[in-house]
Structure 1
Amino acid sequence: MNEVLEFLTTNPTFYIATIEDDQARVRPFGAVNEFEGKLYFCTNNTKPVFKQLVANPKVEISTVSPKGEWIRLSGTAVVDSRREAKEAMLEAVPSLKNMYNLDDEIFEVFYLTNAVAVINSFTNGAKTFNL
């Protein structure tokens, strides 16, 4: 978990792929956190990505580092409506407080289950992590 979280936080723009009907959708994200041993990300429940994740929670996340390494992280996104989970995300990524608060009714957090991450490069072998 630590190496995956470090990769995502040191390469702060990562991309989340979802499915809408039969079309793939990809968009940039920047907030990730570990809470209770799970990898979390967040969004706004008025955005299409939220509706896509609820309709089909299969997700893949990817980004690349300046060193030419990349990560592919796949799993199932689960909404966590607990105040504690949202609070942990806001504390881990303080810039989110400019957009969200605990009582705004739009801030949502997800964690990944059945997650597998692969960190790879053209020069080193792949490292696989089961989260």
Structure 2
Amino acid sequence: MIDFNKILKDNTYGVLATLDGNRPRTRVFQYLFSDDNKVYFGTTNDKPVYAQIQRNPFVSFCSYSKDFSPVLSVSGKAYFVDDITLKARAMEEYPFIKKMYTSPDNPVFEIFYVDVEEIETYSFEEGPRKYKLK
């Protein structure tokens, strides 16, 4: 099995895909941290991405290294969690988040995780690979 958590930690920026009605929407997002098969992200509850995930929680996040080897996509169901400890961790690990939101109890700051069900990778050495976790 591929260590997708390490790949994400080494390549924190990527593209998050959601559905807006029946239309796909993508935006640049930052991976925060992982806990087993849970991949964490942050956003605010006043953005369209928050409403999109509330309506349809199935998302995909794609990240890649500078040489595009590997390209990694993790997909699954997203869950918002109201956990002050996770918000504090995000602020501790990423000072710019603390600068933006000041405190973990900021009412607009939200944390969500993707319960990873499927991983897809591509590398020039190995080609495409798919892993089902659920």
Conserved? CA contact 1:35–1:88, under 8 Å: no
RMSD: 2.3
CA–CA distance in structure 2, aligned partners of residues 60 and 82 of structure 1: 22
Alignment partner of 1:130 is 2:128: no
Gap runs ≥5 in structure 1 = none
CA–CA distance in structure 2, aligned partners of residues 127 and 56 of structure 1: 23
CA–CA distance in structure 1, aligned partners of residues 90 and 37 of structure 2: 13
Gap runs ≥5 in structure 2 = none
Q: Give the number of equivalent residue pairs.
A: 131
CA–CA distance in structure 2, aligned partners of residues 85 and 29 of structure 1: 17
Equivalent position of 2:87 in the other structure: 86
Change (3 A) 1:119 1:26: same
Q: State, as a whole percentage, how many aligned pairs show the same letter.
A: 30
Conserved? CA contact 2:71–2:123, under 8 Å: yes
Conserved? CA contact 2:37–2:116, under 8 Å: no
Change (3 A) 1:4 1:60: same
Alignment partner of 1:34 is 2:37: no
Correspondences of 1:4-43 after superposition (within 5 Å): 4-35=4-35, 38-43=38-43
Conserved? CA contact 2:18–2:60, under 8 Å: yes
CA–CA distance in structure 2, aligned partners of residues 95 and 115 of structure 1: 30
Q: When the two structures are superposed, what TM-score results if normalisation uses the length of structure 2?
A: 0.84
1:102 to 101, 104, 119: 104
Change (3 A) 1:6 1:129: farther
Change (3 A) 1:36 1:119: closer
Q: Which moved more, 1:82-91 or 1:113-122?
A: 113-122
Change (3 A) 1:94 1:19: same
Equivalent position of 2:119 in the other structure: 117
